[in-house]
Amino acid sequence: MRILIADDEPNIRESVAEYCRLEGIEARTVENGEAARKVLAEETFDAAVLDLRMPGIDGLAVLEWTRSEGPSLPVVMISAHGEVRDAVRAMKLGASDYLVKPFDPDELLLRLKQAVEAHRLRRSAAASSVKDETGRPGTEETQNAAMRQVYTLVRKAAPTDSTILITGESGTGKEVLARRIHAVSRRSHAPFIAVNLGGLPESLIESELFGYERGAFTGADRRKEGMFELASSGTLFLDEVGDMPLHLQVKLLRVIQERKIQRLGGTGLVPVDVRIVAATHRDLEVMVQEGSFREDLYYRLNVIRVHLPALRERQEDIPGLLRLFLDLVAERTGRHITAVTSEALQALKEYAFPGNVRELENMVERAVILCEGDELDERDFHLHTPKTRTEPRGTLEQLEREAVVAALRRHENNRTHAAEELGITRKTLFNKIRHYELDTNTPEE
């Protein structure tokens, strides 16, 4: 990942850049908005970190420029001024996120990675959309009956304010679908805010969602607006809602019912107007029976339920998805490979895809980058796990275990690289390692 950091305070921009470099992220720094626009126009970046207040052209002006004339990329705004109007204005102008100084560098990196991933998902959704008679994004081309039902349901539900619960395995495209719902809703002019509850430490979930007042806890030296407030008039996407702790489920239920939030350390209630789309790869009905998920919250979220089938259940869509990802990779890398051998296509159709659509996209990118010829063949995709049609072997769970073991072995137990190959998050991989009781004593690096 390559990012641009624009801040008029040398110690901040250099310390952030140095921290990024220690994490393997290439960072370029500039001291003002004018320099930021010049560099962004001449070079390619995955994301930008812009100080809101800089002399001359400020961060908001640069943000507006990227949305009108400049390159399309995710932008994280930072500022020493924590007024809600600045945050709301930045989000409405298209900022991916907003942090108030002083901030934790780990939190900034987390927000950057989330923003880059969200930007990739938006581009994927846009590239895979067609236009309906109104000129708005419509249904994705699909040959699968279950997916056609999904898009029919979305067209009916999107214009309403009803809560939607998207279910499906990791990597099936739940956030892509949530963004499409927002894009065709009457709230499309307002922010779409995504929160991955499974990727946040339990201690941060409440403050991220509801915000906090100055003095609410040690280090809270100013008020911070939560995601509910930043998503005002728009859509709040709660990903992996099944990972939410029970005591916070009560607070979420109250917000959905009353449409008001209470910041940490606050005494008053703040009205919020958001449409909630939630997603999970877990079976919430089973969790309700086990007592790990509140039944009343489940019914509040499950007003309209949309289930995304796994890629192995919609193999007829693989050729179309393959063309889509080849185009996206060509745009990102400049490598234009359009030919795929019939043997490779057949092998992809027979592959189990434990990481679903996300795994296919990662697989295509890796194949295109490493391919030495003008077309992709079966060897370029490195399909190591058993095939589901011609070589059936045991249950799906056994296939998944073998895929996880093989990925860890190929990457010498580096969980980050193994998760990227499988098309899943590190947290999901850790959960699978624990579930299958795999050896975790080998150092990751």
Can you give the CATH number for the domain in which 67 is found? 3.40.50.2300
Within-domain flag for 123: no
Query: What is the C-alpha separation between 263 and 260, in angstroms, rounded?
Result: 10
* In 145-226, alpha helices (H): 145-157, 174-183, 202-210
Domain that holds residue 434: 394-445
Query: What is the C-alpha separation between 68 and 89, in angstroms, rounded?
Result: 16
pLDDT in tens, 138-159: 345 688 889 989 999 998 999 9
Same domain, 89 and 27: yes
Quick one: pLDDT band at residue 442, thresholds 50, 70, 90? very low
Task: Tell whether the model's pLDDT for residue 82 goes beyond 70.
Answer: no
Same domain, 322 and 439: no
- Bin 291: left if φ > 0, else alpha if -120 < ψ < 50, else beta: left
Same domain, 259 and 287: yes
Same domain, 215 and 242: yes
* The total number of structural domains that make up the chain: 4
Q: Which of 132-136, 203-207, 243-247, 281-285 shows the lowest mean pLDDT across its residues?
A: 132-136
Q: What is the dihedral of CA 366, 105, 111, 410, to 10 degrees?
A: 30
Residues 75 and 65 sit within 8 Å (Cβ to Cβ): no
The residue out of 258, 288, 309 marking a domain boundary is: 309
The residue out of 365, 391, 417 marking a domain boundary is: 391
Within-domain flag for 122: no
Q: Residue with structure tokens 């699909």?
A: 142
Within-domain flag for 274: yes
Q: What is the mean pLDDT of the chain?
A: 83
pLDDT at 134: 33
pLDDT at 221: 78
Same domain, 333 and 354: yes
Query: What is the C-alpha separation between 63 and 48, in angstroms, rounded?
Result: 9
- C-alpha closest to that of 110 among 427, 444, 408, 417: 427
Query: What is the C-alpha separation between 62 and 30, in angstroms, rounded?
Result: 13
Query: What is the C-alpha separation between 301 and 52, in angstroms, rounded?
Result: 36
Within-domain flag for 26: yes
C-beta atoms surrounding 425 within 10 Å: 19
Same domain, 50 and 12: yes
Same domain, 286 and 431: no
Task: Tell whether the model's pLDDT for residue 112 goes beyond 50.
Answer: yes
C-beta atoms surrounding 317 within 10 Å: 20
Within-domain flag for 73: yes
pTM score of the predicted model:
0.64
The pair of structure tokens assigned to 344 is 């490779």
Residues 49 and 98 sit within 8 Å (Cβ to Cβ): no
Quick one: pLDDT band at residue 23, thresholds 50, 70, 90? confident
Same domain, 15 and 134: no
Same domain, 176 and 297: yes
Q: Which of 171-185, 205-219, 308-322, 394-408 shows the lowest mean pLDDT across its residues?
A: 394-408
The Cβ-side half-sphere exposure at 48, using a 13 Å CA radius, reads 32
Same domain, 278 and 415: no
- Bin 334: left if φ > 0, else alpha if -120 < ψ < 50, else beta: left
Same domain, 289 and 163: yes
pLDDT in tens, 331-360: 777 788 878 999 999 999 989 898 899 899
- 410: domain CATH number is 1.10.10.60
The pair of structure tokens assigned to 309 is 């089938």
pLDDT at 139: 42
Within-domain flag for 119: no
pLDDT at 133: 33
pLDDT in tens, 362-420: 899 889 988 888 889 988 898 865 444 444 445 667 777 888 888 887 777 888 878 87
pLDDT at 277: 97
Within-domain flag for 418: yes
How large a percentage of the chain has pLDDT more than 70?
Answer: 89
- 368: domain CATH number is 1.10.8.60
Same domain, 272 and 189: yes
Within-domain flag for 121: no
Residue 47's beta-bridge partner residues?
3
Counts of helices then strands in the chain (DSSP H, E): 19, 16
How large a percentage of the chain has pLDDT more than 90?
Answer: 33
- 236: domain CATH number is 3.40.50.300
pLDDT at 387: 44
Name the residue type at position 49. Answer: V
The residue out of 309, 327, 343 marking a domain boundary is: 309
